């Protein structure tokens, strides 16, 4: 009996078809009206030459052709890739570590607190503090000098690719706690029976983790990685506040390029085209990831 | 289970209460300002930090003409611009808004949205409330638009104590300035402040207007190229100064006023609005810090050129209440309004009649108004927006790597070529 | 099976060391936010200053930014938006996973797709739409958009959370004749509270710190969120010193910290599995 047949059978026998639509409709309506509708506007303008003021001129695919020829694009894409790799691996791993180490122990809340605090800061606050730390001859350089580590003389914010890497460090600082929180939710929802059974069988520590915990954590791991993927592809706030994508556009990400073109250069049509490409890429990557994960999890059940 | 159920219903009640609250509290401050008896004008501005000053002016205007001011401040420049442009198509238009002169002004005037103020200017000039020197910057195709919101001259601010400790005086020639820089450097003080954020054009501007002001103007109108040998020579000169270590670290996030105050940096090139930054730090004008006009690089030039910036205050043809907006603008250019506006911020005024509290600033204002200096429009406004963006990036990259100046100039020129091709 | 002594120490030790590293930037923030403006020296950011300047700095930030009424409105947005989103998201997750909505995966993608758009590009169309619909500069308008941007995350977490709940519970309840709404209200929603708490905290922080939506969709002080006023402090024309900026940033983050601490108790009460 395949999953679909049993589901259809249950649906029919339990009479939940219309009810389900009812439950999901508020979410769909709000998201469609307030998020999708405005975006359709952007899609329209991506095919035009528009400065935000005078009437838009239809130019079909010209913006997209321009996009492919844009020299700033290579740097932008490269930086965005750095961000994707950087924020889907390290902050996720650290978050998992913190969650595992602090789960269920007395005083766990207190030990977790230092990791939760960074998320309380606003994007601007984050930019101010890390700008402060990473500036030439700033706290970061002091620390490296103190520990006799290399890099004490690097001007982190001024030199590519150090500027991107330094900002990824700042983002790791902020995001690890968030990931830990989500992993904690996952840990909490692991049902006791399999764990007890495993313990009775004599499993402990790493084996327990690898064979029981990690697979059962999969749904929330998907959430954490999925969100990190999306957030990293859309990286904007921290770059804009810390380096404005500079110096000389060397630390721009796709979202920063989009913002610059649309708002700073008033080339709203072109900026919209960049936005559309960015959305399609983000969408494609996440759909692929989610499909892979969710099909896999369904098999597990 | 019972515990959960009660907490769920509590949650549901809370949610319901919250929604009800929101709906009843749904109003904003949006009173209908299109009524004939408007008492407030909404002044949209990109200078969110000047909120208290706008409010100060508003109090005075309420007393004098019955119109108060509600400032709506933005701090993110690109968002502000996009928002203002978008607002033209809605019925949430600003009564008044700040903008920039130059290409950006032309852009919105060409769209037919901005109110013509030619008559206002004629009266104001006749009355001596505005200097005729400013008129060209507010004129598009023979008509005037908007009124001057603020005027600032770009001068060199310096820490008086640092100067006296090093035994130097404000220079009267370029050679003097370089000698002063050397002396300061020898004493372990960084002579000049520089930044790669927003104001990266400042030294380029200063060096060029002090060498060949006509070339500077030609660059802005596309008649000259950034790759012109004379421009290259200026960049070379800038590079030499960078190599000699005259400048502070361009990526530093420390505020310039803090660096000037601590004596880490001796001098900073800014608009006269910088006075506000200095006084907020507790520095007193004339005793703790001073200003001087930067001498020309080329001594043989007849007059010293000073860069100035002027930002407009505009109203729309389809404003919510055109009479109120016009009434306010008429009052704004007059002496009483300008006195409050300029003196509360410690900056100069577009109105030559105003007596600036600070004596050296007052002197500067008078000298500039009487034509002692030649004026050059600030790079920010003089150059078309697309070229400006390229230039700001280029100069920022130059500061990090001075040896790359040729490449930067070529990139900027390309942007200039692209722009002037279709304009 | 008891945890070995080594395990006990290793666990807490690692957490503590990592925690201290994580606190370094916070230390810098605190030390410099407490300094009076005159005593701030960019050369000595690691050393604390004996003079206590925090309150003067805050006073200056308060006066300069004119915060007052915005705080109440911001609190409204940060609480109501996520609260609504969390309920709506749970309903959506329930529909997809428990009620086995047909083509559920695609509905889920539709909701998740809401987070895929770069938010900056939503600003202008939203402004135009809001003006037309007379939602501009209204608290309700801001609550609406904040709810909308919070729904995708809530739906995502809830969908995945509900996959871990045994389907038998639903089947059994249905057999007993319970309506889908009753099952949601009495079984699934209470079960999901810890997860909902986590989402709520994250969304609260995000909305409390929002700048761009507040700037674009409102103009009057009572309606505008607090961040719009505070961002004025760090612009080029501001002249606010570093300690004042940091003090303002510090205080602004306190409500979020308080919410974190309050909601964390929800996790402490969760299943105590102890060591692995």
Report residue A193 as tokens: 């029976």
3-class SS of residue C214: helix
SS (H, E, C) A113-147: HHHHHHHHCCHHHHHHHHHHHHCCCCHHHHHHHHC
- CB-based contact C120 A255, cutoff 8 Å: yes
Strand pairing category for B40-45 and B305-314: unpaired
Dihedral, CA of residue A102, residue A107, residue A112 and residue A118, to nearest 10: 180
Residue B62: pLDDT band by 50, 70, 90 thresholds? very high
Report residue A118 as tokens: 């960074």
Residue A112: pLDDT band by 50, 70, 90 thresholds? confident
Mean pLDDT across the stretch C247-253?
Answer: 81
- CB-based contact A122 C121, cutoff 8 Å: no
At residue C60, the pLDDT reads: 78
Could you tell me if C69 lies within 8 Å of chain B, comparing CB atoms? no
Q: Which of residues 381-420 of B touch A (CB under 8 A)?
A: 385-386, 389, 393-394, 396-397, 399-400, 408
Q: Which of B111, B386, B400 sits opposite A247 (nearest CB)?
A: B400
Which residue from A211, A215, A194 is spatially nearest to C273, judged by alpha carbons? A194
Report residue B17 as tokens: 């209460």
The larger pLDDT score, comparing residue B18 to residue A195, is at A195
Mean pLDDT across the stretch C238-243?
Answer: 69
Q: Which of residues 207-266 of B touch C (CB under 8 A)?
A: 252, 254-255, 257-259, 262, 264
Q: Give the whole-angstrom CA distance, residue B74 versus residue B76.
A: 6
Residue of chain A with shortest Cα separation from C249? A125
Could you tell me if A230 lies within 8 Å of chain C, comparing CB atoms? yes
Of A261-275, B243-257, B333-347, C232-246, least confident by mean pLDDT is C232-246
B198 — alpha (psi -120 to 50), left (phi > 0) or beta? left
Residue B359: pLDDT band by 50, 70, 90 thresholds? confident
Half-sphere exposure for A94 (CA within 13 Å, toward CB): 22
Q: Give the whole-angstrom CA distance, residue B85 versus residue C127.
A: 11
Residue of chain B with shortest Cα separation from A245? B393
At residue B18, the pLDDT reads: 58
3-class SS of residue B172: coil
User: What letter does residue A260 receive in the DSSP assignment?
Assistant: I
Say yes or no to pLDDT of B2 above 50: no
Are A26 and A33 in contact by the 8 Å Cβ rule? The answer is no
- CB-based contact C253 A123, cutoff 8 Å: no
- The DSSP annotation for B241-270 comes to HHHTT-B--TT--S-HHHHHHHTSEEEEEE
SS (H, E, C) A32-90: HHHHHHHHHHHHHHCCEECCCCCCCEECCCHHHHHHHHCHHHHHHHHHHHHHHHHHHHH
3-class SS of residue A209: helix
Residue of chain C with shortest Cα separation from B75? C232
What lies within 8 Å, CB to CB, of B372 at 6+ separation is: B303
Could you tell me if B16 lies within 8 Å of chain C, comparing CB atoms? no
Say yes or no to pLDDT of B153 above 70: yes
- CB-based contact A54 B251, cutoff 8 Å: no
Mean pLDDT across the stretch B70-97?
Answer: 88
At residue C2, the pLDDT reads: 52
- CB-based contact A185 C121, cutoff 8 Å: no
Tell me the whole-structure pTM to 2 decimals: 0.84
Q: Give the whole-angstrom CA distance, residue C196 versus residue C210.
A: 21
Say yes or no to pLDDT of C114 above 70: yes
At residue B33, the pLDDT reads: 40
Say yes or no to pLDDT of A49 above 80: yes
Residues forming a β-bridge with B309: B152
Strand pairing category for B96-98 and B305-314: antiparallel
At residue C267, the pLDDT reads: 56
- CB-based contact B396 A262, cutoff 8 Å: no
Q: Give the whole-angstrom CA distance, residue B294 versus residue B206.
A: 8
Could you tell me if C212 lies within 8 Å of chain B, comparing CB atoms? yes
Shortest alpha-carbon distance between residue B68 and chain C (Å): 14
Which residue from B42, B36, B31 is spatially nearest to B316, judged by alpha carbons? B42
Mean pLDDT across the stretch C163-191?
Answer: 87
- CB-based contact A268 B82, cutoff 8 Å: yes
Residue A253: pLDDT band by 50, 70, 90 thresholds? very high
What are C30-49's pLDDT values in tens digits? 888 888 877 777 667 777 77
Cβ-Cβ contacts under 8 Å, A113 against chain C: 19, 261
Residue B258: pLDDT band by 50, 70, 90 thresholds? confident
Counting residues of chain B whose pLDDT is more than 90, the rounded percentage is 52
What are B181-214's pLDDT values in tens digits? 999 999 999 999 998 878 899 999 999 999 999 9
């Amino acid at each position: 009996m395949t999953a679909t047949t049993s589901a259809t059978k249950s649906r029919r026998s339990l009479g939940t078809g219309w009810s389900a639509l009812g439950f999901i409709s508020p979410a769909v309506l709000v998201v469609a009206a307030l998020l999708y509708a405005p975006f359709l506007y952007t899609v329209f303008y991506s095919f035009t030459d528009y400065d935000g003021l005078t009437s838009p001129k239809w130019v079909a695919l010209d913006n997209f052709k321009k996009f492919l020829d844009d020299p700033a694009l290579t740097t932008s894409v490269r930086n965005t890739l750095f961000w994707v790799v950087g924020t889907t691996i390290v902050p996720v791993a650290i978050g998992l570590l913190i969650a595992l180490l602090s789960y269920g122990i007395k005083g766990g809340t207190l030990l977790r607190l230092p990791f939760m605090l960074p998320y309380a800061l606003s994007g601007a606050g984050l930019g101010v503090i890390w700008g402060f730390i990473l500036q030439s001859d700033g706290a970061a350089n002091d620390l490296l000098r103190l520990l006799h580590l290399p890099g004490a003389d690097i001007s982190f914010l001024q030199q590519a690719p150090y500027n991107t890497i330094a900002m990824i460090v700042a983002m790791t600082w902020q995001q690890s706690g968030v990931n830990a929180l989500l992993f904690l939710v996952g840990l909490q929802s692991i049902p006791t029976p399999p764990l007890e059974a495993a313990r009775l069988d004599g499993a402990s520590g790493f084996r327990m983790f690898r064979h029981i915990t990690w697979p059962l954590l999969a749904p929330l791991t998907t959430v954490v990685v999925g969100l990190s993927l999306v957030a990293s592809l859309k990286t904007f706030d921290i770059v804009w506040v810390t380096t404005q994508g500079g110096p000389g556009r060397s630390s721009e990400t796709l979202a920063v390029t989009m913002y610059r073109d649309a708002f700073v250069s008033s080339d709203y049509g072109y900026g919209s085209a960049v936005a559309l490409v960015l959305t399609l890429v983000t969408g494609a990557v996440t759909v692929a990831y989610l499909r892979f994960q969710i099909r896999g999890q369904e098999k597990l059940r | 289970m019972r515990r959960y159920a009660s907490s769920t219903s509590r949650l549901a009640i809370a949610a319901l209460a919250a929604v009800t609250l929101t709906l009843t509290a749904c109003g904003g401050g949006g009173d209908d300002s299109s009524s004939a008896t408007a008492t407030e004008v909404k002044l949209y501005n990109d200078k969110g930090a000047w909120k208290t000053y706008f409010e100060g002016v508003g109090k005075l205007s309420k007393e004098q003409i019955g119109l108060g001011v509600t400032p709506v401040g933005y701090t993110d420049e690109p968002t502000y611009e996009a928002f203002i442009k978008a607002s033209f198509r809605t019925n949430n238009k600003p009564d008044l808004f700040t903008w920039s002169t130059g290409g950006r002004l032309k852009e919105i005037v060409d769209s037919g949205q901005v109110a013509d103020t030619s008559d206002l200017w004629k009266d104001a000039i006749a009355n001596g409330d505005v200097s005729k020197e400013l008129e060209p910057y507010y004129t598009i195709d023979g008509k005037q638009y908007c009124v001057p919101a603020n005027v600032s001259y770009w001068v060199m601010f310096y820490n008086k104590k640092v100067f006296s400790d090093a035994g130097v005086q404000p220079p009267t020639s370029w050679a003097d300035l370089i000698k002063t820089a050397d002396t300061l450097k020898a004493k372990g003080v960084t002579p000049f402040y520089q930044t790669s954020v927003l104001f990266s054009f400042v030294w380029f501007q200063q060096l060029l207007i002090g060498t060949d002001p006509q070339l500077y103007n030609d660059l802005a109108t596309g008649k000259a190229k950034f790759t012109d040998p004379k421009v290259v020579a200026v960049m070379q000169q800038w590079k030499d100064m960078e190599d000699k270590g005259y400048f502070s670290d361009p990526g530093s996030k420390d505020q310039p006023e803090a660096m000037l105050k601590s004596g880490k940096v001796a001098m900073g090139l800014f608009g006269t609005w910088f006075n506000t930054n200095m006084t907020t730090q507790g520095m007193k004008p004339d005793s703790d810090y001073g200003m001087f006009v930067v001498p020309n690089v080329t001594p043989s030039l007849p007059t010293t050129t000073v860069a100035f910036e002027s930002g407009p205050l505009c109203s729309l043809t389809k404003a919510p209440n055109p009479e109120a907006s016009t009434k306010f603008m008429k009052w704004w250019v007059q002496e009483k309004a300008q006195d409050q506006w300029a003196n509360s911020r410690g900056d100069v005024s577009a109105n030559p009649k105003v007596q600036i509290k600070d004596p050296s600033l007052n002197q500067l204002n008078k000298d500039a108004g009487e034509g002692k200096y030649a004026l050059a429009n600030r790079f920010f406004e003089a150059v078309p927006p697309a070229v400006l963006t390229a230039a700001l990036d280029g100069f920022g990259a130059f500061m990090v790597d001075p040896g790359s100046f040729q490449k930067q100039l070529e990139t900027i020129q390309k942007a200039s070529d692209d722009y002037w091709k279709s304009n | 099976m008891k945890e070995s002594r080594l395990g006990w120490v290793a666990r807490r030790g690692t957490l503590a060391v990592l925690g201290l590293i994580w606190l370094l930037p916070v230390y810098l923030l605190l030390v410099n936010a407490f300094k009076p403006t005159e005593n701030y020296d960019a050369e000595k950011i690691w050393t604390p200053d004996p003079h206590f300047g925090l309150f003067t700095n805050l006073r200056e930030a308060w006066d300069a930014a004119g915060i007052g009424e915005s705080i109440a409105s911001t609190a409204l947005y940060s609480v109501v938006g996520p609260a609504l989103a969390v309920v709506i998201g749970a309903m959506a997750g329930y529909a997809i996973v428990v009620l086995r909505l047909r083509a559920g995966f695609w509905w889920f993608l539709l909701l998740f797709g809401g987070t895929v758009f770069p938010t900056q590009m939503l600003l202008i169309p939203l402004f135009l739409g809001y003006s037309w619909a007379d939602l501009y500069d209204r608290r309700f308008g801001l609550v609406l958009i904040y709810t909308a941007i919070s729904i995708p995350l809530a739906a995502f977490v809830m969908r995945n959370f509900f996959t871990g709940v045994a389907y038998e519970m639903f089947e059994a309840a249905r057999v007993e004749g319970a309506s889908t709404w009753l099952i949601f209200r009495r079984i699934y929603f209470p079960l999901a509270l810890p997860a909902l708490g986590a989402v709520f905290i994250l969304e609260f922080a995000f909305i409390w710190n929002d700048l761009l939506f507040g700037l674009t969709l409102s103009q009057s002080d009572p309606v505008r969120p607090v961040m719009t006023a505070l961002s004025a402090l760090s612009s080029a024309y501001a002249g606010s010193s570093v300690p004042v900026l940091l003090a303002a940033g510090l205080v602004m983050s306190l409500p979020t910290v308080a919410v974190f601490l309050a909601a964390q108790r929800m996790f402490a009460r969760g299943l105590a599995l102890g060591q692995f």
